[in-house]
Amino acid sequence: SGCNSESRGALVVLEGLDRSGKTSQSSRLLTYLEGLGHSVELWRFPDRSTNVGQMISSYLSNKSQLDDHTIHLLFSANRWEKRSLMETKLKTGTTLIVDRYSYSGVAFSSAKGLGDEWCKAPEIGLLAPDLVLYLDIQPEKAAERGGYGGEKYEQLEFQRKVAQCYQVLHDASWMIVDACRPIEDIEKQLQELVLECVMACQKGKPLANLWS
Ligand code: 2DT
């Protein structure tokens, strides 16, 4: 199934509101690609394992307070500190399934009122995803699924704003997936989209930088 070590891996990002199913679909994709014999890893942002990630985690669990601009830049720094490893993995043929990325960064901060362009600026030069899978769900429907934890941002009113902010971020790399269908149907659709993307990257689709 094309495990040619000369070819690069794909950068696949899952985005969507809280409770849209990103995390469970990400792990299903991992299992699927592993099953086909691909080299693949599951990543997520924020990556709470680093020093910066711990500051973010403390902020999200309301243990510390930070100015909106400051936390925005920390989220971005948390991606920058992983950029070179990300590039190495991709260039050596590993596909990365990434649960949240720069789009979460821009959508959540602009939902607080920070300007779009200001929010995008620190993301310039990070690797551009080959495919963004947006799990589309109405904020009210997501809230009905229950299980909002106690973290910052996990409130219906704020999620409504985030949903609006995601809307303006769509580009050619996005696929909007209806996240209200049965979980297996979504899984199947994602498998097809990701496989096609992985093939395109194997065939030499160039790696690009944000925002392109
Ligand atoms: P989870 O770990 O449950 O996905 O929640 N966020 C995330 C931002 O505000 N900016 C970012 O750059 C990223 C990656 C989304 C993490 C929360 O942090 C928000 C939900």
CATH code for the domain of 69:
3.40.50.300
Q: Which atom of ligand 1 is nearest to the CA of 100?
A: 14
Answer whether 69's CB lies under 8 Å from 115's CB.
no
Q: Which domain holds residue 122?
A: 11-201
| Within a domain: 42 | yes
Dump pLDDT digits (tens) for 8-56: 999 999 999 999 999 999 999 999 999 999 999 999 999 999 999 999 9
Answer whether 193's CB lies under 8 Å from 10's CB.
no
Token look-up 């589309």 returns 136
Cα 19 to ligand 1 centre (Å): 12
Domain count, the chain: 1
- Answer whether 53 contacts ligand 1 (Cβ < 6 A): no
**Could you tell me the pLDDT band of residue 90, with boundaries at 50, 70 and 90?**
very high
| Within a domain: 50 | yes
- Answer whether 21 contacts ligand 1 (Cβ < 6 A): no
This prediction has a pTM of 0.96
